[in-house]
Amino acid sequence: MKTILHAAGLALIAGSVSAAIPVGRGEISASAAATVTYDSNLFGTNDATGDTFGTLTPRVSYLKKAGLIEASANAGISFLRYLEQTELDAENLDLDATLQITNASQRNYSGLVSAAYRESADVNTDINARIETQATTFIAKGALITGPRSQVATNANYSDTQRSIASDQQILSTDVIYAYSDFFYGNSLRIAGNYDTLRTSGENARGVALDQKSYSLTGGLNRTFARDVLRFGFNYGYRIVNRSSEENPDRPARQSGSILSVILEGPFLPAKYFPKITSSFSLSYQSAATPGINDDGSKELVGTLRLAWEARERTRVRFSAYRTQRLAVSDVTVVTTSVQLGLDQTLRTNLTGTLTAGYDWSTYDEMDRDDNVVSASAGLRYHFARKWDANLTYFFNSISSNLRESTFDRHVVSLSVSYQF
């Protein structure tokens, strides 16, 4: 803890003589945040172990908006020191960089490339344990307008997550999309091809590493309504997944099936009758993008619904509901349904508050496990000086499961102060 106090003092002294530094056509700036946190359940178990710890996070940022390419980069390190559980002391790196083409709306092409590396440690409810994680991600996007009514876009996402326990996972997702507007009675044609891969280290209940490759081709029609602010889409396609024979010995390594999705994007509630409400909705019926161990490829209904109501000038009410399929750190498929209700309130010009309550229920394939989660959070943000901010947050999580070892409660309270040099 003394290390944090000494570093915080140096950061404050530096702040009195530092400012944004011009570099070429951009500038470099710095910030620092000091946080005190109490966590009632550091390891996510029913015999909870709590502790208080301090975090100091200095960060340096670079931003360039001039010219054809906009560039940004951030580098930070978090020093964590615990009062009692000193074996959890750590220094976690957080690095990211992004390059993108500026004023893309004024050109017939656009592009973005970004990379990030983050180290962290936190409770993971999939295995009810604290996991140290090193995550590397790469994202690339590009689009080209090929004619008055047509364009081509491509996307690639890669993530490599290394964990102290549970499975390491490498996921690659790529797609190429061709779109042609006013194709058929005012509808737009959309054709997409996808290639995805998944590899894991096999730290799971069966000791089997996942090795998957999938290919898919979809096509569909999209149409806009309400002066082009609401888009409805219907897409149908076919997907092939090649898996290692060890993943599911009772089924063929090659699986295939259809993909069906229905998408409604934009304010599905008419603005004429609901001028203070923004909304969005999407729905699809398909198998998991990255199926887990013994996942038989059965299809699930997944989607999202969001509503935001500007109740008053300073009051905003949020509601969201979603159903997703994901790959757990234990290499099994998890289907989660969640609902959340939130409130954002501006109490003063320099003081804002948030409240959120939610309920989730999850089913873990292969494990015969069902979880029900009640969560709540609250926060206050106070901008008390030109370059100073203070944040107070509270988080509560209560998990009830048919597995006793997966049932626990957790309270986390944090107070932080940040300074922008």
Please check whether residue 38 is in contact with residue 47, taking contact to mean a CB–CB distance below 8 angstroms.
Answer: no
Q: Which helix (DSSP H) or strand (DSSP E) does residue 2 occupy?
A: helix 2-15
Which of 256, 257, 299, 291 shows the shortest CA–CA distance to 365? Answer: 291
User: Which of 16-25, 206-215, 228-237, 322-331 is least confident?
Assistant: 16-25
Q: Give the whole-angstrom CA distance, residue 394 versus residue 375.
A: 11
Say what the pLDDT of residue 103 is: 77
Please check whether residue 46 is in contact with residue 72, taking contact to mean a CB–CB distance below 8 angstroms.
Answer: no
Please check whether residue 236 is in contact with residue 220, taking contact to mean a CB–CB distance below 8 angstroms.
Answer: yes
Say what the pLDDT of residue 270 is: 66
pLDDT at 16 over 60: no
Say what the pLDDT of residue 266 is: 65
40-76 pLDDT, tens digit per residue, is 999 999 899 999 999 999 999 999 988 889 999 999 9
Q: Give the whole-angstrom CA distance, residue 67 versus residue 24.
A: 11
**Average pLDDT over every residue of 391-398:** 97
**What tokens does 60 get?**
């340096």
pLDDT at 373 over 60: yes
Cα–chain-centroid distance for residue 98?
17
**Average pLDDT over every residue of 251-255:** 80
- 3-class state of residue 86 by DSSP: helix
Say what the pLDDT of residue 7 is: 43
Say what the pLDDT of residue 233 is: 83
Say what the pLDDT of residue 10 is: 40
Say what the pLDDT of residue 227 is: 64
Say what the pLDDT of residue 205 is: 84
Say what the pLDDT of residue 111 is: 95
Bridge partners of residue 393, in order along the sequence: 379, 414
89-101 pLDDT, tens digit per residue, is 999 999 999 999 9
Say what the pLDDT of residue 248 is: 74
Say what the pLDDT of residue 289 is: 79
* Strands annotated E in 83-149: 90-101, 109-124, 129-145
User: Which of 83-87, 113-117, 239-243, 363-367 is least confident?
Assistant: 363-367
Which of 301, 303, 213 shows the shortest CA–CA distance to 256? Answer: 213
Q: Give the whole-angstrom CA distance, residue 122 versus residue 120.
A: 7
What is the 8-class DSSP label of residue 106?
Answer: G
User: Which of 20-34, 47-61, 278-292, 331-345 is least confident?
Assistant: 278-292
Q: Give the whole-angstrom CA distance, residue 334 versus residue 196.
A: 19
Structural domains for the chain: 103-115+122-420 (2.40.160)
Say what the pLDDT of residue 130 is: 95
Which of 218, 132, 228, 204 shows the shortest CA–CA distance to 365? Answer: 204
**Average pLDDT over every residue of 92-116:** 91
**What tokens does 26 get?**
């951009």
User: What value does the mean pLDDT of the chain take?
Assistant: 89
Please check whether residue 359 is in contact with residue 383, taking contact to mean a CB–CB distance below 8 angstroms.
Answer: no
Q: Give the whole-angstrom CA distance, residue 158 versus residue 173.
A: 6
Q: Which helix (DSSP H) or strand (DSSP E) does residue 3 occupy?
A: helix 2-15
pLDDT at 301 over 80: yes
For 256, 385, 398, 403, the CA distances from 407, given in Å and listed in that order, are 37, 43, 8, 7
Task: Kindly tell me the sign of the dihedral angle through the C-alpha atoms of 270, 273, 278, 279.
Answer: negative
349-368 pLDDT, tens digit per residue, is 999 999 999 999 999 977 78
**Average pLDDT over every residue of 291-315:** 87
318-352 in b/e burial notation, b at 16+ Cβ within 10 A?
Answer: bebbbbebbbbbbbbbbbbebebebebbeeeeeeb
